[in-house]
Amino acid sequence: MNPTRPASPTRRLLAAAAVATAALPLAAFAQAKWPEKPVRMLVAGPAGGSADILARLLGDHLAKDIGQPVIVEPKPGAGGILAVNELSQAPRDGHTLLVAVNSLVSEIPHIVKTKVDMSREIVPLAELARGGLVLVGNPAVPAKTLPELVAYVKGNPGKVNVASYTAGTLSHVLGLQLNKAAGIDLVHVGYKGSTPALQDVMGGHVPLMFDGIPTSLPLLKAGRIKAFAVSTPKRSALLPEVPTFAELGYPQLEAIAWMGLWCKPEVPAALQQRVRDAALKALGQAGVRERLAEVGFEPGQPRAVDELSKSLRVDYERMGTLLKAIDFKPE
pLDDT, tens only, 100-159? 989 889 988 887 777 778 888 999 999 999 889 999 999 999 999 999 999 999 999 999
Q: Which of 194, 229, 253 is the last residue of a domain?
A: 253
Structural domain includes residue 32: no
Instruction: Give the domain extent around 291.
Output: 37-131+257-325
Same domain, 243 and 141: yes
Give one DSSP letter per residue of 199-259, joined into a string.
Answer: HHHHHTSS-EEEEEHHHHHHHHHTTSSEEEEE-SSS--TTSTTSPBTTTTT-GGG---EEE
Structural domain includes residue 112: yes
- The arithmetic mean of pLDDT across residues 21-43, rounded, is 66
Same domain, 272 and 286: yes
Structural domain includes residue 330: no
HSE-CB at 243 with a 13 A cutoff on CA atoms is: 12
Same domain, 165 and 213: yes
Structural domain includes residue 101: yes
Identify the residue with better confidence: 3 or 204: 204
Q: Which of 253, 287, 302 is the last residue of a domain?
A: 253
The pLDDT score that the predictor gives to residue 1 is 43
How many domains, in total, are found in the chain?
2
CB atoms within 10 A of CB 285: 13
Give one DSSP letter per residue of 136-193, joined into a string.
Answer: EE-TTSS-SSHHHHHHHHHTSTT--EEEESSTTSHHHHHHHHHHHHHT--PEEEE-SS
Structural domain includes residue 208: yes
Per-residue pLDDT tens over the stretch 165-211: 877 778 888 998 999 999 999 999 988 888 899 999 999 999 999 99
For residue 28, pLDDT beyond 50:
no
| Residues whose CB falls within 8 Å of the CB of residue 320, separated by 6 or more in sequence, listed in order | 110
Same domain, 241 and 287: no
Structural domain includes residue 164: yes
Same domain, 308 and 170: no
CATH of the domain at 65: 3.40.190.150
Least-confidence region, from 83-97, 124-138, 144-158, 313-327: 313-327
Same domain, 176 and 238: yes
Structural domain includes residue 31: no
Same domain, 210 and 263: no
Same domain, 179 and 220: yes
What's the residue count for the chain? 331
